[in-house]
Amino acid sequence: MYYIGIDVGGTNVKAGLITENGEIMKRAVRPTLAKRESDAIAADMIALVKEVAEGIDAANIHSVGIGIPGACDDKTGMVVNTANINFHMYPLGEKIQAATGFSVYLGNDANCAALGEYYALPEKVQDMIFITLGTGVGGGLILNGKLYTGFNGIAGEVGHIMLKDGGEKCGCGRRGCWEAYASVSALIRQTRDYALAHPDSALRAACGENMEAVSGKTAFVLARKGDADGKAVVDTWISYVAGGIVDMVNIFQPALLLIGGAISKEGEMLLNPIRSFVAQNSYSPDVAKTKIDVAALGNDAGLIGAAFLGRK
Amino acid sequence: MYYIGIDVGGTNVKAGLITENGEIMKRAVRPTLAKRESDAIAADMIALVKEVAEGIDAANIHSVGIGIPGACDDKTGMVVNTANINFHMYPLGEKIQAATGFSVYLGNDANCAALGEYYALPEKVQDMIFITLGTGVGGGLILNGKLYTGFNGIAGEVGHIMLKDGGEKCGCGRRGCWEAYASVSALIRQTRDYALAHPDSALRAACGENMEAVSGKTAFVLARKGDADGKAVVDTWISYVAGGIVDMVNIFQPALLLIGGAISKEGEMLLNPIRSFVAQNSYSPDVAKTKIDVAALGNDAGLIGAAFLGRK
């Protein structure tokens, strides 16, 4: 049996034909051109489905799953809204189903990534929390072996839990959300602020004259070289990341918590301080402890997980 | 079929014989005498089970469930630890099972209260979050129709999510937990601090000369009479309560969130500002919204829910 996944991003719409084992047998991609009419974007998705399904007996294709960077209601097949793409209360599931004949499932992109990582685990667990650190902080909750999406389909917005009441402004309108401190965007802001406050530092030089060179890696690169300023920025940011992870552990006590997003490539330099912070700060009597690790699939997690949305 | 519940508190151990409908047919109680040997407390529990089971055919008793004010592992029947009672890595389940012949289930007290409230709902929902405001902030998570306890049995410590990073010291060792701001203990502290800062206020007078009269009700009583200082204290405290509820909604998007604890008797005066704060601050595109209400069962929720721990 094959599964078709579609991963909708701000730049590209990617499609893949996925095996039971999560291998990507065939790929296709089209530019999103996010400002277009919803119907034009949907038409490209239909073409992508046909492209990856070509030559495969339709009876061997289980379903199509679509990962959306926004809120969607899987029960009705409706994309409720997205921040950057022209989908608002748009019946995407129905459209794709009507045009392709396949069952169609919708999911939030972070939820899809969680599902992709979950199916890729070498050892299954019942409860796994996935967080992804990028422009924001996204999350996916696998509870009792299933993706948990709440009664309206949009659960798991873990980036929008409070870290510092009244603190930094968050995109959601609140002040002080975890995302406003622990996203890579926040790390970049923290790097820039630190550099400006330390004009003679190596960190300031690494940011470029007009701050054009600053990225989520800037402070990590210096910290690896033993630079105290780089380390200060990294340590502070990691304490924010770990602070929210403590919340996740205290709430869910999952067997496994996975950290995704490009920054997770920092590996042990990210993981070690998080693990010791969580060990020190989580509510933890003498019981088994959550394992904390980085995600395995990288960019393909969302595509593979989307494909598996319909998998029981 | 009957269910036997035991609710272990710091002062009393209560037992009840509960019907399928959640009615308490028979009650029995003994003092906890919390400093005693674990075995002595367990012996009283065994006596209580026999007392409420008397005259009932054992075949008509489904199981015994015990609500513990602390952490326990239902899989092993072990009480991991409690803050105030002499149970630490104590095999309570095994002891009670051996002495009574009934299957025994253990649960955290807040989880039991959540389960009791859940079975008492006039209309079933799939996902319900229960929070209880008292000495601390406790919680119980009913997800996909079942009590969620994580992989080690101690999930749902929602009081220990961060509200103000680096803020008030919490009993768990962290600074700034929700519990440190939104518990009734925190309300009392906030009332006292406000009163001391406003020595000529009616609120100061209501606290008594040596602060002996201050309780969780003090500010509410004055606020109901239109007193601006009482209202200020209540408003601030409610904003903390509601802040954490926003987190719960953003994470879980439950159909229902219930607020328990004696303070929930404040009813609409508590609920109305919480509902409007959550509506303003939660991540909420155009989807169905979580219903927020006060719990129905009061003190008996924990006893009834404990009885139902073994119910499938």
Residue B285 has pLDDT above 90, yes or no: no
Which SS3 state, helix, strand or coil, does residue A201 take?
A: coil
- The confidence band for A64, taking pLDDT boundaries of 50, 70 and 90, is very high
Best to test chain A binding among B146, B250, B252 (most A CBs inside 10 Å): B250
Retrieve residue B61's tokens. 């008793």
Is the pLDDT at A283 greater than 90? The verdict is: no
Residue B167, token pair as written in the block: 């803020």
Tokens 């129709």, residue located: B145
CA distance A19 to A307: 9
Q: Do A150 and B246 touch (CB under 8 A)?
A: no
Mutate to test the interface with A, among B126, B177, B253 (most CBs of A within 10 A): B253
Contact (CB<8Å) B281/A255: no
Mean pLDDT computed over every residue of chain A: 96
pLDDT confidence tier of residue A282, bands split at 50, 70 and 90: very high
A20-39 confidence digits (pLDDT tens): 999 999 999 999 999 999 99
CA A181 vs CA A188, B26, B155: distances in Å = 10, 53, 25
Cα A102 from Cα A96, distance rounded (Å): 8
Q: How close B121 comes to chain A (CA, Å)? A: 16
pLDDT > 90? residue A147: yes
User: Distance, in angstroms, between A173 CA and closest chain B CA?
Assistant: 7
Q: Do B251 and A164 touch (CB under 8 A)?
A: no
- Res. B283 pLDDT band, cuts 50 70 90: confident
Identify the three-state secondary structure at position B67.
strand
Helices and strands (DSSP H and E) totals, chain A: 10, 13
Say which residue, B50 or B288, is predicted with more confidence: B50
- The torsion region of residue B298 among left (phi > 0), alpha (psi -120 to 50) and beta comes to left
Are B152 and A246 inside 8 Å of each other by CB? no
Give me the residue from B154, B167, B253 closest to A287, CB to CB.
B154
Question: Chain A closest CA to B137's CA: distance in Å?
Answer: 12
In degrees, to the nearest 5, what angle opens at C-alpha A145 toward C-alphas A143 and A150?
A: 40
Q: Are A144 and B143 in contact (CB under 8 A)?
A: yes
Helix (H, G, I), strand (E, B) or coil at A78: strand
Q: Which of B25, B26, B60, B30 is nearest to B45 (CA)?
A: B30
CB contact under 8 A, B156 and A251: yes
Q: What is the mean pLDDT of residues A92-111?
A: 97
Quote the distance between the C-alpha of residue B96 and its chain's center: 24
Give chain A's largest Cα–Cα span.
65
Which residues on B lie below 8 Å from A171 (Cβ)?
Answer: none
Residue A147 bridge partners (DSSP): A142
Q: Please check the confidence at residue B83 and state whether its pLDDT lies above 90.
A: no
Residue B221 pLDDT more than 80?
yes
DSSP bridge partners of B70: B82
Question: Mind telling me how many Å the CA of B156 is from chain A's nearest CA?
Answer: 5
* CA-based nearest distance B17→chain A, Å: 31
Q: Do A164 and B161 touch (CB under 8 A)?
A: no
Pairwise CA distance, residues A215 & B212, whole Å: 56
Contact yes or no for A161 and B250 at CB 8 A? yes
Is the predicted pLDDT of residue A74 greater than 90, yes or no? no
Residue A158: how many CA atoms within 13 Å on its side-chain side? Answer: 31
Which chain A residues touch B286 with a CB distance below 8 Å?
A: 80-81, 89
Q: Give the span between the Cα atoms of B15 and A298, in whole angstroms.
A: 53
Chain A interface mutation, best of B165, B174, B256, highest count of A Cβ atoms under 10 Å: B165
Burial class (CB in 10 A: 0-12, 13-18, 19+), B185: middle
